[in-house]
Chain A
Amino acid sequence: MLKSPIRKHSFDGIDIYEYEEMRLKRPSYLVLGLPDVGLVGAIATKYLAVNAKMKLVGELDSSQYLQPISVVHKGIPLSPFQFYLNQDENILVLVAEAPLPVQAVYPIAKSIVEYAKTLNIDYIISLSGIAIPNRLGVQKPKAYWIATTDDTAEIMKKSELKMLDEGFVVGPYAIILKEAKRRSLRNIMILVESFLDFPDPEASAEALMVLSKITGIQIDVKKLLEEAELLKLQTRELMKQTKKAMMQMPKNYEMQMPLMYT
């Protein structure tokens, strides 16, 4: 059974509870898996937390912005938003088992950035999908990146990935990108081609392989691909709820061309 939290950080109605002293080794990473397009980030971070045998070290909750939901795992009641830490103590992962209600997007996104600053996180890495209409015909989805600082952009330019040149990002990751940039914090967003509204474990596997190259953590995605069908079956309702939340944002902006496109 979990002990009581040893610390609580509060950011404008959002509470982050810590169960351990958070002294992350450097370079430190905060990996985000908020439910979004194709549940790419959500599936990736869940797989990472379980298969890298990460330790539950914190929770995010809000009596003001989130619905009264507790998830129960092994008999222990938890917030649907949990932080896990790897054994090398340099990768903190946010796993989200519920989508963010639209009214919670701004405050939670900002609190994540503030928390990252509090912990002196070196890199915030957001994992997500980018919906493409012909995903069924794509065998190997491509990954794109967005970076918020020049030094991070230089690192990513040396990778095989393509920069997301022009487009829109909608949702909590959009707020995190903007807030990180304004605070000169390093945020890398990885977007993998995926289905919009079907869970896409193949895209999650691609996201994890990119994450592995950035952080150096060893991730074997073979089991993820073997369990893909089970994951898709288990996450149908989360995908349905996420789709409803996305449509309120409105997510369809991501399919538009920006006015300033040149």
Chain B
Amino acid sequence: MNIEEFFERIRRELRRIWREIEEEMEEETRPMWDTSGRLEPLVSIDRRPDKYIVLIDLPYADLKSLAVEIKGRRVKIECRLSCEIKFDKWSAYRETVFDRYYTEFTLPEDAETNRAVIEKDETRKIIRISVPRKPLY
């Protein structure tokens, strides 16, 4: 590798790190309610030695309408609510009728998303996605 390639790698890595910082800052300040009627669900990612367990909390969801799309490491979740919800007394979103969940997130680099297994807990309205991790060796 020559010196130019070396510096180009550093520049790419710094851009990647900066993108991650920007995404994290945006995530922290982004509200979980949207005036278009979309709700962002809570997502919990638990790293185990051999897999990732992703839980998505979808209260009031109609799980029959659940759509999970996995492209590479990017996961997209959409699901309608079982009924429309409105909060008349809440000044921020008084006029909004909430009717669906939507979220996207990226799994870590060692997630083998092509072997992901999706399960639904119909009682608790929680989705469980189990994603194996690529072995190191």
Contacts and interface: CB of A to CB of B under 8 A. Distances in A.
B32 A232 contact: no
Contact of A136 (B41, B60, B85, B124): B124
A240 B124 contact: no
B97 to A, nearest CB: 14
A198 B42 contact: yes
B44 A195 contact: yes
A255 B22 CA distance: 30
A230 B55 CA distance: 18
B136 to A, nearest CB: 23
Interface residues of A, number: 17
* Dominant secondary structure at the A interface: helix
B63 interface: no
B57 A232 contact: yes
B21 to A, nearest CB: 15
Contacts of B42: 197-199, 236, 239-240
Interface in B47-104: 55, 57, 59-60, 85
Contacts of A233: 39, 59-60, 85
A136 B57 contact: no
B59 A136 contact: no
Interface of B: 28, 31-32, 39-42, 44, 46, 55, 57, 59-60, 85, 121, 124-126, 128
A68 interface: no
A136 B46 contact: no
B83 to A, nearest CB: 10
Interface string A227-247: 011101100110110001000
B44 A198 contact: yes
Interface of A: 133, 136, 195-199, 228-230, 232-233, 236-237, 239-240, 244
Contact of B125 (A195, A229, A237, A244): A229
Contacts of A228: 59
B42 to A, nearest CB: 5
A237 B121 contact: no
Given A136-B121, A197-B44, A240 B55 contact: no
A194 B128 CA distance: 16
Contacts of A199: 42, 57
B28 A229 contact: no
Contacts of A236: 32, 39-42, 57
A232 B46 contact: no
B45 to A, nearest CB: 10
Given A136-B128, A228-B59, A232-B57, 9 more contacts: A136-B121, A136-B124, A195-B44, A198-B55, A232-B59, A236-B40, A236-B41, A236-B42, A236-B57
Contacts of B125: 229
A199 B124 CA distance: 12
A70 to B, nearest CB: 13
A136 B46 CA distance: 13
Contact of B28 (A133, A232, A239, A244): A244
B59 A196 contact: no
6 closest pairs, A vs B, by CB?
A: A232-B59, A229-B59, A198-B57, A233-B59, A229-B60, A197-B44
Contacts of A197: 42, 44
Contacts of B44: 195-198
